[in-house]
Amino acid sequence: MRPIRKLKTKYYAKEILKYLLLAGMIYIAFSSPYFTFSLSRTIFKNKKVFRKKFTNTFWYLKKKGLLQFKKQGHDVCIALTKEGKKRAGKYQIDDLYIERPKKWDKKWRIVIFDIPNSSAVVRNVFRRKLKEFGFYFFQKSVWIYPFKCQEEINFLREFLGASKRQIQILEVSQLEDDHFLRKTFKV
């Protein structure tokens, strides 16, 4: 059984990695003693997190090889390593979801893909994310969804390194016999 302390550190590490990926780099000025505290409040959404835990999480990430610290004059630069960027990108994909609008625009989004066997891992990850998003499995590599999802699919395609030829998104205003789909999606 894992100790609770380790789990919290890993959760905080995940949050810090995601924010650092968004920010790119952070320069910490030694002249600002309140920087760490204000950053921790921003990252942890105003939850009470002790300064020591926050600092320990940074050192945990450095020890794991996900962060690097560089001194530049009176400032310290904290940046993600290559492995850190990869891990932070994975966390972004895990948190990715498609918002369901209140009103349906009466268009179907059809995602078709042809990812070769040599990229079976990419294909399986993509298929799993489509299931998580709530897409309907129509045929072997054809999935249907009633709401806008272009940005999410493009982000996923880019993250997985697939091309536009491998993953296509079609927007269709008319689909033959779509009653069962309307019933499935409750639109």
Q: So where are the chain's domains?
A: 4-94, 100-185
The string of pLDDT tens digits covering residues 77-122 is 777 788 877 777 666 677 788 889 999 999 999 999 999 988 888 8
Sequence-distant (≥ 6) Cβ neighbours of residue 87 within 8 angstroms: 17, 66
Q: Which whole number is the average pLDDT over 135-144?
A: 94
* Vertex 36 angle, CA 33 and 39, to 5°: 130
CATH code assigned to 4-94: 1.10.10.10
pTM: 0.59
Q: Provide the pLDDT for residue 63.
A: 83
> What is the fold of 100-185?
Alpha-Beta Plaits (3.30.70)
Rg (CA), the chain: 21
Strand partners, 77: 27, 70
Residue 45, Cβ density class (10 Å: 0-12 exposed, 13-18 middle, ≥19 buried): exposed
Q: Provide the pLDDT for residue 44.
A: 54
